[in-house]
Amino acid sequence: MKKAPKDRFAVSVKVGPKGQITVPKEAREMFDINEGDTLMVLGDKNRGMAILKCDSLYDVMGGILDGGNKNS
């Protein structure tokens, strides 16, 4: 039996009555998501949804705003 790669996974989650989902353990471990972390939900009607840690978004935005210069 072939083992799944450690850098990918696919799981299904159900949306609860309040519109909430549970982030699967595999995703929390892979992306170092811990209790109290803030996540950003991005959506595009044609392309779908993405969920990422706000820390990651801030890092990307910082790189864009400073022109990609890590020395600023």
Q: Average pLDDT in the 38-50 region? A: 92
pTM, two decimal places: 0.64
Give the pLDDT band of residue 14 (cuts 50, 70, 90): very high
Q: Return d(Cα 66, Cα 72) in angstroms, integer.
A: 7
Residue 8 pLDDT: 82
Token output for 11: 């799981």
User: Of the candidates 45, 39, 5, which has an alpha carbon nearest to the alpha carbon of residue 21?
Assistant: 39
Give the pLDDT band of residue 44 (cuts 50, 70, 90): very high
Token output for 36: 């109290």
Say which amino acid occupies 45: K
Give the pLDDT band of residue 47 (cuts 50, 70, 90): very high
Q: What are phi and psi for residue 53, nearest 5 degrees?
A: -70, 140
Residue 58 pLDDT: 67
